[in-house]
Structure 1
Amino acid sequence: MRDTIDLNWQSSEYEWIELVRQLLLELARACLGDLPKLPMHVAQQARPMAETAGRLLDEARSRGIAEAQWKHYPELAWTHDARKLFLELAQVYLSDLPKLPDNASIRALDLAERAQTLLENPMDSASESSSSDSSQENPTPSQTAETTPSHGENLENASPSKLMSLLKGRLEQQRSRSSNPDAPEWQQLLNLLDVAQGLYRNLKE
């Protein structure tokens, strides 16, 4: 478990997660276009990214974290899933008849969202994932404060990033109260908002 074996990840590993997240968003945007395609930049990075992911997983094994335990380590579970997608993309790049993997856009968006969670909560995701169900049903005051503007906050002067974060929080609250919270439209809506946030970050850079 996480409290017995430390992954010992440094800032460089999280910088790599950010690079992967940007590639995933680029892939998702390309897949959602009128003519879904594999961006050349993503294709060229697929093999190196998969190799880095493999190295991180091998290091975890050497520290005594078996594959069966990776589900307890969000970083490792995410790395495993990202490596699988990048290996598939590498095969597409080398294929004579390239075809994007099934549900590439959905998988890319899901991985990008999970990457953002890891970046916002480095080395602290296991405890959050273990209590996610209860926290969604009974949000704490601090969680509510994160998604609810204070009385003194002027939304007219709030940045687009702040507004999108608030919108995402409100949508997640509405989803938890919905009579059909598992409807795929909820996740699609949140995924599209993640893409919008990623696009805005790119414009700011």
Structure 2
Amino acid sequence: MTELNSPSSDRRWIEQVNDLLIQVARASLADIPTLPTAVSTSALPLARQAQAIQDQVATSPAAGANWRGTQQDWLEQVRQFLLELSRIALSDRPKLPENIAHRALSLAETAQDIQEALENGDEGSDGPGESHDRKGATDVNTRFDQLREQLKAEWGNSTEAGNPGWQQVLTLLDVAQTQYNDLRQK
């Protein structure tokens, strides 16, 4: 059994969570939003591991060295989100909440910030704060670009490729990116 809260197990867990969150966001943005099949098998074990990390952080200051401030808040948000995904996946008629893609992407963004902080040896930082301020705009713009490419690929594969809604979605994404960049500069 791997030791919880060792930097390598934390990184592995964060990477697995990030991958699942990205899969959830992509699948929920598809023409017919669904949950990826991986959710039913991996969400609950990841949520249990999050609980185990929280328990160790609460009982051992040494174990909690990698988890401080906003990182602990993120850990609880991820645990709750994973439990919600498990309930949805196990229900008879899974119905996705409207904001699931936004929530998944937001949590995935924080996961990437935490991964970067761990890789840079900044384990004691308060999470996404400082590194996010420096690289945040670039990271978000990269995600906008990735989402744009994903949408274009789905548009090209869609049976409704002539539907003007596709162009509207891409235009809205451009507007959102411009608005975001304007807000970052203020």
Percent identical among aligned pairs is 35
Change (3 A) 1:47 1:128: closer
**Does residue 1:57 correspond to 2:51, yes or no?**
no
TM-score (norm 2): 0.62
Give the 3-state SS of the residue equivalent to 1:125 in structure 2.
coil
Give the equivalent residue in structure 1 for 2:42: 45
Give the 3-state SS of the residue equivalent to 2:72 in structure 1.
helix
Q: Which amino acid aligns with 2:106?
A: D
Pairing partner for 1:91 from 83, 87, 93:
87
Separation (CA, whole Å) in 2 of partners of 1:77 and 1:35: 32
Give the equivalent residue in structure 2 for 1:126: 126
Give the equivalent residue in structure 2 for 1:18: 15
Give the 3-state SS of the residue equivalent to 1:113 in structure 2.
helix
Change (3 A) 1:51 1:190: same
Separation (CA, whole Å) in 1 of partners of 2:125 and 2:149: 21
Please state how far the C-alpha of 1:63 moved relative to its aligned partner.
2.3
Give the equivalent residue in structure 2 for 1:73: 69
Give the 3-state SS of the residue equivalent to 1:121 in structure 2.
helix
**Does residue 1:192 correspond to 2:144, yes or no?**
yes
Please state how far the C-alpha of 1:101 moved relative to its aligned partner.
3.3
Give the equivalent residue in structure 1 for 2:110: 114
Number of residues of Structure 1 aligned to a counterpart in Structure 2: 139
Q: List alignment gaps of at least 5 residues for structure 1.
A: 1-6, 66-70, 137-142, 148-164, 173-186, 199-205
Change (3 A) 1:62 1:50: same
Matches within 5 A, 1:153-168: 168=137
Change (3 A) 1:34 1:128: closer
Q: Which amino acid aligns with 2:108?
A: A
Give the 3-state SS of the residue equivalent to 2:78 in structure 1.
helix
Moved over 6 A (4+): none
Q: Are 1:30 and 1:39, in contact at CA under 8 Å, matched by a contact in 2?
A: yes
Give the equivalent residue in structure 1 for 2:165: none
Change (3 A) 1:56 1:92: same
Separation (CA, whole Å) in 2 of partners of 1:197 and 1:19: 23
Please state how far the C-alpha of 1:42 moved relative to its aligned partner.
2.1
Give the equivalent residue in structure 2 for 1:139: none
Deviations 1:60-96 (A, max 9, x none): 111269xxxxx95233222111111110011112211
Q: Are 2:68 and 2:124, in contact at CA under 8 Å, matched by a contact in 1?
A: no
Please state how far the C-alpha of 1:119 moved relative to its aligned partner.
0.7
Q: List alignment gaps of at least 5 residues for structure 2.
A: 151-186
Q: Are 1:118 and 1:125, in contact at CA under 8 Å, matched by a contact in 2?
A: no
Give the 3-state SS of the residue equivalent to 2:126 in structure 1.
helix
